[in-house]
Amino acid sequence: MSGKAATVTGAGSGIGRAIAIRFASAGAHVNVVDLDLAAAQSVVSEISQAGGSASAFQCDVSAQSQVKDVFRQIFQAGRVHILVNNAGVSHIGNIEKVSEADFERVFRVNVKGYYNCMLAIVEHMKNSGGGTILNLASVAAWAGLADRFAYSMSKGAVVSMTYSVARDYLTYKIRCNSISPARVHTPFVDAYLKKNYPGHEAEMFAKLAATQPIGRMGEPEEVAALALFLCSDEAGFITGVDYPIDGGFLNLHG
């Protein structure tokens, strides 16, 4: 990725952070975008200390005006070759436990946020000779997960948007793919366990890990490795595909 620039949203922690660090280690300049500016700056510092190149930007991806302003700033530094849509929120509950406010919040960030960022960059990529877009979806888009109504809805939309953009921008040399992870061990998982199962975190962690047939959760770095490949020139013949990275979750149950 030497000489390329990548913009990664939600890159202040978890999977986004791992992707930003991996891309930078491969030679890309990484625009680290996050709602939490301090977290974004911390990742930039980490990348810089390792000899990489990165810049931090604060942005609420659900606000189109903010997205346009931030991307305008990013484009001033030069061409952006890669967009990774990763910023997102989760929600637990079946349809009866999802309030209108909850539903709209998940949709606003996980669906509209991806739309806003892709809309902000496709014209730039069209005028620059092409590019690569990678969207973070989830196995929730494909499987009937209990108590994940709003989240599953949003990730199904992500996969559909991926296919649509891949189809519409083939002639502009813009590739668009998505990744569908199963459970990945991120700070979000640790916070969830601490909040909902105080004193039983280790027990519940083991239970959640066992839902993947491979017997453990994924690591953010493993998702980042797949992201690196799909956004590299080596994947130049791949577009319009969703890649499960799930420890066998979708196909090996039972």
- Active-site positions read 151
Which residue from 60, 164, 73 is spatially nearest to 121, judged by alpha carbons? 73
Residue with tokens 């990945």, as numbered in its chain: 184
Two tokens at 143?
A: 């499987």
Please give the Cα distance from 238 to 229 (Å, whole number). 10
Tally of CB atoms within 10 A around 47: 24
Beta-strand (E) ranges in 146-202?
Answer: 174-181
User: Which run of H or E residues covers position 41?
Assistant: helix 37-49
